[in-house]
Structure 1
């Protein structure tokens, strides 16, 4: 299974989320042998971490939107370094 699975770092957020959902379904079905369940769980954890990292990055970008005096978006500020 993991031999032919795509590299998580090459997956889009949507692909990683779909793969994570598939892993969860397989584990919930309970039809997978123990060794394969452990492998699936490990892959699922890596997929979850990748999805969370992308969500955190997206949230940081959203929070970086700068508002003008009237409360309207006027641009963004960089998150490349400490402020």
Structure 2
């Protein structure tokens, strides 16, 4: 199975939120959707953390040299 992209996870999460907000689904199904939403939320959070760790900013030092620093 292919790794779920951040964008796909966000789309699925949005769909689940919309379904839960309608209130038109049975309680058991709502609980399953909620649990799925929590897992998707955790996946998205993990992907954002991983991306933040990979990112860095390129800055110019006082000597005119380019240097990278962690993006915050």
Tell me, yes or no, whether TM beats 0.5: yes
Q: Which runs of 4+ in 1 moved over 3 A?
A: 64-68, 74-77
Q: Given the two structures, how large is their TM-score scaled by the length of structure 2?
A: 0.76
User: In structure 2, which of residues 34, 37, 51 is the aligned counterpart of residue 58 of structure 1?
Assistant: 51
Structure 1 regions of 5+ residues with no counterpart?
1-6, 78-83
User: In structure 2, which of residues 13, 24, 31 is the aligned counterpart of residue 20 of structure 1?
Assistant: 13
Structure 2 regions of 5+ residues with no counterpart?
none
Q: Distance in 1 between the 2:10 and 2:43 partners?
A: 9
Q: Distance in 2 between the 1:47 and 1:59 partners?
A: 18
User: In structure 2, which of residues 32, 43, 62 is the aligned counterpart of residue 39 of structure 1?
Assistant: 32
Q: Distance in 1 between the 2:61 and 2:12 partners?
A: 44
Structure ranking higher in strand proportion = 2
Question: RMSD value over aligned CA atoms?
Answer: 2.4
Larger Rg: 2
